[in-house]
Amino acid sequence: MRRLVAETRLHAADLVLPLFVKEGLTEPAPLASMPGQVQHTEESLVEAVRAARDAGLGGVMLFGIPAVKDAHGSQGDAEDGILQRALRASRTVLDEVPAGTATPVLMADTCLDEFTDHGHCGVLTSTGAVDNDATLTRYASMAVAQARAGADVISPSGMMDGQVAMIRDALDDADFVDTSILAYSAKYASAYYGPFREAVDSELKGDRKTYQMDFANAREGLREADLDLAEGADMVMVKPAGSYLDVLRAVADRSDVPVAAYQVSGEYAMIEAAGANGWIDRDRAVMESVTSIKRAGADVILTYWALEIADWLR
């Protein structure tokens, strides 16, 4: 009876699997703060994308970690940069099934923090502040490089003002009129990104409070989503998910495009850690947390458990 009358159901197609690929690795490198997750080699990334495809996931989100980082994140838009190489290899895997077969949407993180030696999401001014407008130019170039490498969805996660409009123009000018934009709209400066810093070898010192939002504010999240919608976002995101279900609900109620939520690295790590200690029932907590994100209004959920959940749902 509970199954019959459940108001919310998860489906593998709701889920997007975030994946990390690191240049120069010879073996996948396990992440201590994200048990079960790894930095992939180019080869193991392809296997993970194939697994996502065969599990019927809705999408994969790729993060690239270059061997060399610099102040401008120059590997971010290099044609042979790690993320572009991984996108091309993923495109091939996704396209090898018969035409008409549903495959995961190929998404790319469009941000500089994985590529800069200072770890900020943008380029810096001479005084060390993040330079919003100079960063927009870099994002536009990254977006076109990612689209050229086969990305279906460009995902600006740097919270620069005007990033969606700038990327839309650049994509259109380069004839990528069908490439979509998933805007990280209400993205909070969050302690829950902690394990992600290990996942991308981040060098960040300090914080992102000049561009990511204050967790005290919900209205501001709506304003950010409205701006991104006006600039042409095809989807908007709330991130993190679990501590922001109120913001997610409010954005879902007013958005006329699909809404995504990102269950981030710290949310994953907490349930894994408590589960490993026998303090909570891990599997039940996973399903409860992800189902609650959908109940709160997410059409699309990014979660590191995507493959495992898809397996449970079979």
As annotated, the active-site residues are 187, 239
The per-residue DSSP string of 42-110 comes to: HHHHHHHHHHHHHTT-SEEEEEEE-SS-BTT-GGGS-TTSHHHHHHHHHHHHHHTSPTT----EEEEEE
Q: Which is nearer to ligand PBG, 71 or 102 (CB)?
A: 71
Residue 302 three-state SS: strand
Q: Which is nearer to ligand PBG, 121 or 160 (CB)?
A: 121
Token pair recorded at residue 104: 């995961």
Q: How far is the CB of 115 from ligand PBG (least distance, A)?
A: 9
Which residues lie near ligand PBG (CB under 6 A)? 109, 111, 113, 121, 157, 193, 196, 208, 264-265
Query: Are the C-beta atoms of residues 298 and 49 closer than 8 Å to each other?
Result: no
Q: Which is nearer to ligand PBG, 111 or 167 (CB)?
A: 111
What's the Rg (C-alpha) of the chain? 18
Residue 208, Cβ neighbours under 10 Å: how many? 21
- Going by their DSSP bridges, the two strands 105-110 and 300-302 should be labelled as unpaired
Q: Which is nearer to ligand PBG, 41 or 263 (CB)?
A: 263
CA-to-CA distance for 224 and 211, rounded, in angstroms?
11
In which element (H, E) is residue 113 found?
A: none
